[in-house]
Amino acid sequence: MDKSSGRTWLGWMAVAAITGLFVAPAYGEGNGNVIDEAELANMVIQDCGSCHGLKLKGGLGPPLLPENVDRLPEEAIAAIIREGVPGTAMPPWKALLTTEEIRWVSEQLKSGSLITPE
Ligand code: HEC
């Protein structure tokens, strides 16, 4: 009895190892889960920039420079991007951006890495 349950466990381990081998390389191929940072950075400047300014210094929407978003935790920024701000011009982006992409954008806003120096 012990032996057979031991074999079953080993069997599952083998299955896990084999699936891992086949699934892992396939993961990176489709671009579904991969963040295209260049494309996203461009999208932030163009799309978010249309309201927040091409240098994110503000326009119709408030400035998104690190000192402006400093008061907001990264998760709060992500929530604003995901859901928008109801009753304002800030639209929800969840239909257009994945959770990973939203997290990446939130990180960049915090660090200011998308802002080109004058
Ligand atoms: C159609 C115009 C518009 C677009 C496009 C837009 N926003 Fe906004 N956004 C606003 C407005 C207006 C507000 C202010 C909402 C309010 O009054 O709280 C805002 C608020 C924000 C805030 C909160 C800022 C703060 O200090 O409270 C963040 C973060 C933000 N937007 C990020 C983004 C990102 C990232 C994008 C692109 C993915 C984007 N926005 C695109 C109009 C826009």
Q: What is the pLDDT of residues 63-81, one digit of tens each?
A: 999 999 999 999 999 999 9
Asked if 56 and 48 touch (Cβ cutoff 8 Å), the reply is yes
Which residue carries 């080993």 as its tokens?
10
Model pTM score: 0.78
The reply to whether 52 and 103 lie within a common domain is yes
The reply to whether 47 and 79 lie within a common domain is yes
The reply to whether 9 and 42 lie within a common domain is no
Whether 24 maps to a domain, the answer reads yes
Give every CB contact of residue 27 below 8 A, 6+ residues apart in sequence.
33
Q: Is 88 in the pocket of ligand 1 (CB under 6 A)?
A: yes
Of residues 79, 99, 93, the one with CA closest to residue 33: 99
Domain residue limits at 29: 1-34
The reply to whether 63 and 45 lie within a common domain is yes
The reply to whether 42 and 1 lie within a common domain is no
Per the prediction, the chain carries an average pLDDT of: 85
The reply to whether 3 and 20 lie within a common domain is yes
Q: Return the pLDDT at 86.
A: 97
The reply to whether 87 and 59 lie within a common domain is yes
Q: Is 102 in the pocket of ligand 1 (CB under 6 A)?
A: no
Whether 118 maps to a domain, the answer reads no
Give every CB contact of residue 18 below 8 A, 6+ residues apart in sequence.
none
Residue 78: how many other CB atoms lie within 10 Å? 21
Interval 14-57: pLDDT, tens = 666 665 655 544 444 445 568 999 999 999 999 999 999 999 99
Whole-number Å distance, alpha carbon 77 to ligand 1 midpoint, is 9
**Angle formed at CA 95 by CA 43 and CA 37, multiple of 5 degrees:** 30
